[in-house]
Amino acid sequence: MTDKTPDPLAQVYAATTPEELSAAYAAWAVAYDRDTLAAGYCLPFQVLAWVARYVAPGDGPLLDAGCGTGLSGPCLAALGYRRIEGLDISKEMLQVAETRSAYTALKQATLGETLPWDDNHFAAFLSTGVFTEGHAPASSLAELCRITRPGGHAIFTVRDKIFESGGFAGVIGGLSAQGAWRPLEQSPPFRAFVLDEPEVLVSTHVFEVLA
């Protein structure tokens, strides 16, 4: 990140509880878009390539899990996706997302806890920049699978440095072994910021949900 926003970013990565994370994003919500886009943050837009590759616009509702200020929403709508729901831990970030008029529903919820949707509700979920340091745990993936219908898709990024240490390798492998999903694609590591933070690398993972 640039020198403009060291404190907000440091507070986000330093969060050790959902409450601390929510407070950090609440303080950053108004300036978040300007700060991250100035640093070249590309994940909310780059993920759309995988969504378009695997999910047809008419397949059903999409969940933007950890939608933040809703940067992906208008781009998804422009691609023909009309039923987009979002969740985020931060009420303040959701208030910004609501102004984009791209989401049919926005709910405040915490990844890692039970989510407020019925089984098999979504055709797919996407999540970018959420599975990183101090953020949602790997265990969130099982609950996201629960609310995604069989034949639907899971599309998400994981920060490289926590893939093993954060338990993602184990959870992803465990869900595959249980028959909850099957892998379709894993990208090589790439930069989350095209201008700053060259050390921040993520990979995109795509699965078909089976049960």
User: Residue 26: pLDDT band by 50, 70, 90 thresholds?
Assistant: low
pLDDT tens string 88-134: 999 999 999 999 999 999 999 999 999 999 999 999 999 999 999 88
- The encoded tokens of residue 107 equal 């709910």
Q: What is the pLDDT of residue 1?
A: 35
- The encoded tokens of residue 159 equal 């920060």
Within a domain: residue 1? Answer: no
Within a domain: residue 61? Answer: yes
Within a domain: residue 43? Answer: yes
Q: What is the pLDDT of residue 134?
A: 81
Q: How far apart (Å, rounded) are the C-alpha atoms in residues 63 and 86?
A: 6
* Structural contact between residues 183 and 27, judged by C-beta atoms closer than 8 angstroms: no
Domain at 27, CATH number:
3.40.50.150
Is the pLDDT confidence value at 71 over 90? yes
Within a domain: residue 168? Answer: yes
Within a domain: residue 109? Answer: yes
pLDDT tens string 5-23: 446 666 666 666 777 766 7
Query: Beta 105-108 vs 122-131: how paired, if at all?
Result: unpaired
**Closest-CA residue to 128 (of 64, 182, 184):** 64
- Domain residues for the domain of 176 are 6-209
Q: What are phi and psi of 117, to 5 degrees?
A: -140, 155
Tell me how far apart the terminal alpha carbons of the chain are, to the nearest angstrom.
39
Window from 29-33, 163-167, 207-211 with minimum mean pLDDT: 29-33
Within a domain: residue 114? Answer: yes
Q: What is the pLDDT of residue 17?
A: 72
Assign residue 190 a region (left: φ > 0; alpha: ψ between -120 and 50; beta: otherwise): beta
Mean pLDDT of the chain: 91
The structural domain count of the chain equals: 1
Q: Which residues is 201 bridged to in the sheet?
A: 191
Q: How many CB atoms lie within 10 A of CB 138?
A: 20
Q: What is the pLDDT of residue 5?
A: 41
Question: Cα dihedral sign for 70, 137, 89, 114?
Answer: positive
Mean pLDDT value across residues 165-193: 97
What b/e string do you get for 20-35 counting C-beta neighbours within 10 Å, with b at 16 or more? ebbbbbebbbeebbeb
Half-sphere exposure of 31 (CA within 13 A, CB side): 11
User: Which single residue is written with the structure tokens 């996407």?
Assistant: 126
pTM for this one?
0.89
Q: What is the pLDDT of residue 4?
A: 39
CA dihedral (18, 23, 24, 30) in degrees, to 10, reads: 130
